[in-house]
């Protein structure tokens, strides 16, 4: 109610459970090991800061390695950051922070080049330039990809190798419990529960004046999602307990085309990248009709919320449990060259995209909101930062533009 008393300011964070049995110290502790977390760790280490990365699974087990489509940036001839900005603002349904979007699109191209300098290898065209594709909401081909449809796996490989080469300390199988704070309420590290061996086992702590949350999303809150098992909203929960603000948590993006595995399928579902539609595949109903034509000027390449709604409407109209993505006209050679990961995934479930349409339905995919930050990643708690999917910088508004997620992780990290 408008006349209700405001909530009391949070006090010092209490660490629940047993006392820590081990502790280590650093200048910076990064919680999470996706594109954002590993980029932060590398940049901090380059600046001479002793950095520790903690992750609740293995170093390469975050959401990044599951990304298929690619990373968006104005890298192609005739493309400009302004055009990328306009597409991002349109997809965000009027709720983006324009300053944040401007930062994303203007710093994006150089961020991608730095990633390449780190060792990430993107697919190239015949003339040696970066091969670019198109995805939903984009009016130009501006999506750089790797391994056809294994962009995230390549980025993760390159960043993990760089972190290992830099000698950055990593604590795996470490669940971050709570933010540690000093008497003035500043971040002082994190408490952890580690299922490991030797020194890093049991309840422990990393003491550091700077804590960076890069824990990814919360897709596992939903019964069907594209997110891996580690995406359970830990970072948002930790930040809330520490007194940080969160924003736009209601804006959870559902990916329109996830492989439909039956009514009882739960947990992580195989993603069918938007790039498949970007290369010309069509969404059709059970009778073969292209139901997105006429619903939006971009048809199957409309922003994701529009396509997901279009699929759900057609499912309700026809009483069907799913729709279909038809890429049979690609032919076997293109499927094998451009989308080998998706092809193998479909075939492992008894579906051959070369000869039959792929059954698809929407599933939870991306948290557009999260821990509220400024353009430097700062939260309202001194010393606590956030970046990547766990953060809400304002760049996504109500609906993330396709392939802006990896770019946000790079730029704001």
Provide the whole-model pTM.
Answer: 0.90
List, for residues 336-352, the tens digit of each pLDDT value. 999 999 999 999 999 99
Return the pLDDT at 96. Answer: 97
- Find where tokens 């019964």 sit: 223
Q: What is the arithmetic mean of pLDDT over 245-250?
A: 97
Q: Residues of 308-341 as b/e, b for ≥16 C-beta within 10 angstroms?
A: bebbeebbeeeebebbbbbbbebeeebbeebbeb
Distances in whole angstroms, Cα of residue 335 to Cα of each of 148, 346, 386: 9, 11, 38
Both structure tokens of 286: 């059970």
Return the pLDDT at 195. Answer: 86
Q: What is the arithmetic mean of pLDDT over 10-15?
A: 45
pLDDT tier at 198, thresholds 50, 70, 90:
low
304 is catalytic: yes
Are 300 and 276 within 8 A, CB to CB? no
Residue 258 has pLDDT above 60, yes or no: yes
Residue 307 has pLDDT above 50, yes or no: yes
Q: How many CA atoms lie within 13 A of 221 on its CB side?
A: 18
Return the pLDDT at 5. Answer: 52
Q: How many CB atoms lie within 10 A of CB 230?
A: 22
Return the pLDDT at 60. Answer: 87
More confident: 11 or 412:
412
> Please, what are the domains in the chain?
25-250+368-412 (3.50.50.60), 254-364 (3.90.700.10)
Catalytic pick from 65, 304, 338, 400?
A: 304
Return the pLDDT at 130. Answer: 96
Return the pLDDT at 17. Answer: 52
Return the pLDDT at 9. Answer: 44
- On average, the pLDDT of the chain sits at 93
């Amino acid at each position: 109610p408008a006349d209700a008393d405001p909530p009391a300011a949070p006090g010092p964070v209490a660490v629940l459970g047993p006392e820590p049995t081990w502790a280590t110290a650093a200048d910076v502790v990064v919680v999470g090991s996706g594109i954002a977390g590993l980029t932060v760790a590398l940049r901090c280490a380059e600046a001479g800061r002793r950095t520790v990365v903690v992750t609740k699974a293995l170093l390469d087990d975050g959401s990044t390695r599951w990304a298929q489509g690619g990373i968006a940036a104005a890298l192609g001839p005739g493309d400009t950051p302004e055009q990328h900005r306009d597409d991002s603002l349109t997809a965000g349904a009027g709720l983006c922070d324009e300053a944040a979007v401007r930062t994303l699109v203007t710093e994006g191209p150089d961020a991608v080049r730095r990633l390449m300098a780190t060792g990430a290898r993107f697919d190239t065209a015949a003339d040696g330039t970066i091969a670019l594709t198109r995805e939903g909401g984009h009016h130009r081909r501006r999506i750089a990809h790797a391994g056809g449809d294994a962009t995230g796996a390549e980025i993760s490989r390159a960043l993990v190798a760089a972190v290992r080469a830099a000698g950055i300390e990593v604590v795996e199988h470490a669940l971050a419990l709570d933010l540690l704070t000093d008497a003035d309420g500043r971040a002082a590290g994190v408490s952890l529960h580690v299922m490991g061996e030797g020194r890093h086992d049991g309840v422990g702590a990393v003491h550091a004046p700077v804590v960076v949350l890069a824990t990814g999303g919360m897709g596992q809150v939903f019964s069907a999602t594209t997110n891996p098992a580690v995406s359970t909203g830990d970072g948002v929960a930790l930040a809330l307990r520490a007194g940080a603000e969160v924003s736009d948590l209601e804006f959870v993006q559902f990916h329109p085309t996830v492989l439909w595995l039956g009514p009882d399928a739960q947990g992580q579902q195989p993603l069918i990248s938007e790039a498949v539609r970007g290369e010309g595949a069509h969404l059709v109903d059970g009778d073969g009709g292209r139901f997105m034509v006429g619903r939006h000027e971009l048809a199957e390449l409309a922003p994701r919320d529009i396509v997901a709604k279009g699929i759900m409407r057609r499912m309700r109209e026809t009483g069907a449990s799913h729709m279909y993505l038809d890429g049979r006209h690609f032919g076997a050679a293109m499927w094998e060259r451009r989308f080998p990961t998706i092809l193998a995934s479909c075939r492992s479930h008894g579906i051959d995209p070369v000869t039959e349409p792929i059954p698809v339905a929407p599933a939870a995919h991306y948290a557009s909101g999260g821990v509220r930050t400024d353009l430097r990643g700062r939260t309202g708690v001194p010393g606590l930062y956030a970046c990547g999917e766990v953060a809400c910088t304002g760049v996504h508004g109500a609906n993330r533009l396709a392939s802006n997620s990896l770019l946000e992780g790079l730029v704001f990290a």
